[in-house]
Amino acid sequence: MSKQKKIAIIGAGASGLLSSILLSEQGFDVTIFEKNNKVGKKLLATGNGRCNVTNKNISLKNFYSNSNISLIKNNISDFSYNDCKELFNRLGVEFKVVPSGRAYPLSLTSSSIVDILEYEALKHGVKIELNSEIIDLKYNNERFTLNKNIHFDKLVVATGSIAMPKLGSSESGYQFAKQFKHSIIKPVASLVQLVSSNKHLDVVAGVKIEAVIDKTRGDFLFTKYGVSGSLILDISRKVSKDLQTQKTVRLSVDTMPDFSMETLTNMLSKRLEYLKDKELHLWLDGIMNKKLAKYIILNSNIPSHIKYAKFLSQQDILKIVKTIKNLQFTITDTKGFETCEVCAGGIELSEINLETMESKHQKNLYFIGEVIDIDGDCGGYNLHWAWSSSNTLALNMR
């Protein structure tokens, strides 16, 4: 491959950096244009600063699209967890895998990933132009012209989505795609906290439990504005979609999933025998967080004059058990693009040749990463798509 074939990559995030390395290894002359003053700003923030690189349990079922998700089956199968691990080992990153399957750099710092990717790119001769926003793009005479005077043979759009604009994200990738007649699925916030109109949330704010919603289990965090935690992030895609067509969404939360209603009923009934003189929230203290106990009582429709456990009827106990197992939340909104980790939506999947990542509308134009209408579960899956699509691109670039 001749160095004379010049490739421009717009965006120095996860997919932009990795693809630049893989393409330069094949002999392409690669330049990355990044509008921020440093590379990988969003990558630095992922995994709470630890960078959840991938997941040991990579499967097609962890990815979503408004199109037929099976279209990316080969992209995922051709770049498995072991392939990802081998690649990053070669670059100098060792993985630490936690029981859930999430893989982090052994250093547990996202800067390790960013620094290594930047180092490898520069080592392979990639030119990284910082503070370089592309505001004008043209295609003439089989060449792309960026900002009216920079010419390239091929163009890779790796701009990401509009999630977390404070880290420099924007709609630029969607606009470039539209310029070449691509359809854009309107993005909605995914992997995002949810806003609730429930009363008394200040009573329980800050409490974190393990809970279940619609058979999905994970960490559930009560906040003053609503709910958060890994469980909420996992279901937020569907909630965001539902909120597009309805004003509110109802969630039913099992706050004690390891106990059946019958077991809880027997447990609480027995507690009446020797804890009957305790106030209601103290009567529940010892089986759940005391703040949560207050919130459960407030939401159980127990008559306000009942202050002590000894005055509870069997019907009251059943009300409390039902609230514990089916705590209701009215969701009115998400926290939006400002805080979401990814977006659901983007460039229409069927308009991209997924064997090469090349546009079906424009020769020598490629799209990779989150700018495409692909998003994944919380747990390293979205970054794996960035790596996977970069791998597909590099293997098939001619």
Q: What's the CA gap between 228 and 209, in Å, rounded?
A: 11
Are 362 and 325 in contact, with CB atoms under 8 Å apart? no
Q: What's the CA gap between 130 and 125, in Å, rounded?
A: 15
Q: What local confidence, expressed as pLDDT, does residue 168 receive?
A: 87
How does pLDDT run across 203-230, given as a tens digit for each residue?
Answer: 999 999 999 999 999 999 999 999 999 9
Distances (CA, A) of 193 to 31, 157, 338: 36, 28, 11
Most confident segment among 40-49, 55-64, 269-278: 55-64
> How many Cβ atoms sit within 10 Å of the Cβ of residue 305?
6
Position of tokens 């609480």?
268
Position of tokens 């990717």?
117
- Relative to beta strand 63-64, strand 375-376 is antiparallel
Instruction: Give bridge partners of residue 330 from the DSSP assignment.
Output: 250
Q: What's the CA gap between 67 and 64, in Å, rounded?
A: 8
Identify the band that residue 173 occupies on the pLDDT scale cut at 50, 70 and 90.
very high
Q: What's the CA gap between 19 and 394, in Å, rounded?
A: 6
- Using the predicted structure, report yes or no on whether residue 2 has a pLDDT greater than 50: no
Give the angle 41-378-96 at the CA atoms, nearest 5°: 75
Q: At 222, which amino acid appears?
A: F
- Using the predicted structure, report yes or no on whether residue 1 has a pLDDT greater than 50: no
Ordered by where they begin, the domains of the chain are 6-188+343-396 (3.50.50.60), 194-247 (no CATH), 261-329 (1.10.8)
Calculate mean pLDDT across residues 249-270: 97
Q: What local confidence, expressed as pLDDT, does residue 281 receive?
A: 86
Lookup: tokens for 187: 């993005």
Calculate mean pLDDT across residues 78-89: 98
DSSP 23-64: HHHTT-EEEEE-SSSSS-HHHHHGGGGT---EETT--GGGEE
Distances (CA, A) of 32 to 131, 180, 274, 390: 11, 21, 70, 14
Give the angle 248-254-255 at the CA atoms, nearest 5°: 110
Lookup: tokens for 281: 């929230």
What is the Cβ-side half-sphere exposure of residue 384, based on CA atoms within 13 angstroms? 33
Q: What's the CA gap between 306 and 278, in Å, rounded?
A: 11
- Relative to beta strand 327-334, strand 194-196 is antiparallel
Q: What local confidence, expressed as pLDDT, does residue 203 receive?
A: 97
